[in-house]
Structure 1
């Protein structure tokens, strides 16, 4: 058995065989890149499949991916940097920065143009935006009371970020703040909050305070012309099979975005996102650049759901159920947090934290194991099982796992 940093590399090669046979050769995934980092070194990195299926371009380690909701932890970090700067606090009302929202009500009936509402029991707080308990919804949600109105108003699509803030001021909340965990535009709103507090465009704050210091040279809200050759198409899985969703040559990511999305707007590479993960593993610092203090990061990766509940108890949305596993999983300030691996039915440790993106990208960090794992692909509606399989293969490859359980509130 070949070992590196306490991990069986033979077992990780078995993961690649499983990935190819189960998901690539069957035509489900167009491509896949897996990166495993432990104890200060990359112990496994392998790319399979085609970045561009139609053109027959093989996937490379330096290809640029749409990371969608893996943007959310970066936006959350940006906000917490402002907390450390003393410019805002988790318990501040959101209306302190967005005064247009001072009179938001909670839905009681009606539809767009004829909504009725009642005052919430308490105001929406900044912490609600970070943990998805703000009462907002998402244009990608289905079956809720507000998501149809979000789509009709073009929120997140035809509006600008500030235009979305203005439009939401005239809509009720889906739920009272703190009542439910409902995956939403909350992190996009958080991006607007960061921009207003920092008195600069949100995207510039992210570039200057996070991407630049970390050396994430291929991560941005659009793809520069000199990098377009490394950008990939995005596919989608439908009942009829895999189809092309966003062609590389005509992708909106090749130009500056109309809507700057802190919830899902970044593109990145596996190497860049590893730098972000390494910073988190090191308590907020990488290569001499400290972005945030270790105690702040510790706070971010604890469960912040009201009453210490898990997501299963408070979830009101089908979207993102696959991200969390729901039972035995809490939510911190920008990340899902494993509370009890036995209840989640996933291998891991209490205290590992993670999130994924709509096109199948995924990462997790396990401080107990000094471990970071990144998975990249470009397939909307990709099978949930891929991520669970990856966790199983990676953890089963660890041969010297320490036993330092972490208690989470």
Structure 2
């Protein structure tokens, strides 16, 4: 007897996802819990919650569990800025200093250490496209690679819970860039600066803008910078990989900073969400920018965003100055807020040219495949995301379930 099909996906083959996660991650104690969703042609074909959202209290992962999505905030922030692009508020080659005057005359690191840097001029001004594509010359403190990211750590630029977005942007104006804008790719606080631009251009705080222009239109009621008190019992614990195996509690959901009002609204990584909420955002993208009659971005704008915007159509290894994730990114470029697959064979991971997505620090991830009209969401809470190759494994299993 043939297996049942949903939207051209073999349901029996999709069950391999849960079996794989149980056998390889939950039973050996590598992950606390997981929640996976697969949809095709606008229909959810598979969703399964497994393991625990809070190991210490013995609470299970459930369909409505709330997760720290960290850098999966970035695609939302990028779409929000491009909504303003559609209103003619800016052009991608506009210099950032047009909107942030203190950033005029930014310089590039040459030698020295904080605060005694030797710098040189940039080859050209940083543009808004540089921010959206992580070619701005900015960095993250956790990179632990250069004297510039050491300065970020010393100033707690991306970790201090009391620093405001305005203070962060002001401090960045006094620090050198890692490289001249447009000459390399480096994962960075650039999307936090994108969030700051959204506030400047819209006259709204980032949380208000998200709510009015993305969350409310899409019916996303479980996505926020601060977990509301009446939803706190659904909030998962977050864990840190322990060298040698296993994990330890990294953030207790009863005392987490995500329960308190956010001082800094990080467009690069500040949101908490549920799998069904993020599915609504991802499905809107898969549909060309709209869901249930609510359009959040134009079809042509989205098509533009998911092109490879790296110079010469290069992939990330050809331009990146620092690694940060478990994927090698061979055969993968970067668009305006997403990674974009450019060469399937070179990537050594099954899939389609043009698929796009991103992941978060605590091992959450999503991708949309426009060729197959397919999307996959994976939620867990384990830092760092480079611990296990789950994203690639899920891709292989899901593709094995496509039958038409």
Q: TM-score range by the shorter chain?
A: over 0.9
Correspondence 1:16 to 2:21 = no
CA distance in 2, matches of 1:278, 1:113: 46
Is the partner of 1:253 in helix, strand or coil? helix
Q: Name the counterpart of 1:219.
A: 223
1:348 equivalent in structure 2: 351
Compute the displacement of 1:292 (Å): 1.2
Counterpart of 2:280 (choices 275, 284, 287) is 275
CA distance in 2 between partners of 1:353 and 1:341 (Å): 12
TM-score (norm 2): 0.97
Shift of 1:14: 1.5
Is residue 401 of structure 2 the alignment partner of residue 397 of structure 1? yes
Contact 1:145–1:174 (CA<8 Å) still a contact in 2?
no
After superposition, the CA RMSD in angstroms is: 1.0
* Correspondences of 1:2-401 after superposition (within 5 Å): 2-158=4-160, 159-240=163-244, 241-320=246-325, 322-323=326-327, 325-382=328-385, 383-400=387-404
Are the aligned partners of 2:189 and 2:268 in contact in 1 as well (CA < 8 Å)? yes
SS at the partner of 1:146? helix
| Partner Cα separation in structure 1 for residue 240 and residue 67 of structure 2 | 14
CA distance in 2, matches of 1:239, 1:168: 33
- 1:266-305 Cα deviation digits (max 9, x unpaired): 0000000000011101111111111111000000000000
1:2 Cα deviation (Å)? 2.5
d(CA) in 1 for partners of 2:191, 2:146: 19
Q: Is the 8 A contact 1:341 1:349 kept in 2?
A: yes
Aligned residues between the structures: 398
Q: CA deviation at 1:318?
A: 1.7
Q: Distance in 2 between matches of 1:37 and 1:299?
A: 23
The structural deviation recorded for 1:157 is 2.2
Provide structure 1 residue ranges, at least 5 long, that are not aligned to the other structure: 401-409
Write the distance in 2 (CA, Å) between the matches of 1:2 and 1:285.
Answer: 29
Counterpart Cα distance in 1 of 2:27 and 2:10: 25
Q: Distance in 1 between matches of 2:44 and 2:195?
A: 32
* 29-38 or 199-208: bigger deviation: 199-208
Instruction: Give per-residue Cα distances to partners, 1:296-329, cap 9 Å, x unaligned.
Output: 0000000000121110100111213x25x32100
Find the residue that maps to 2:15 and give its secondary structure: helix
Task: With the length of structure 1 as denominator, give the TM-score of the two structures.
Answer: 0.96
Structure 2 Cα separation of the partners of residues 72 and 199 of structure 1: 20
Q: Cα offset for 1:103?
A: 1.1
Could you list the runs of 5+ residues in structure 2 that have no partner in the other structure?
Answer: none
Aligned partners of 1:24, 1:75: CA distance in 2, in Å?
Answer: 32
User: For the residues of structure 1 that align with 2:17 and 2:288, how far apart are their CA atoms?
Assistant: 29
- Secondary structure of the residue aligned to 1:81 is helix
Instruction: Give the deviation of 1:43 after TM superposition.
Output: 0.4
| Secondary structure class of the residue paired with 1:347 | coil
Greater Cα shift, 271-280 or 193-202:
193-202
Distance 1:218 1:399 in 2: 33
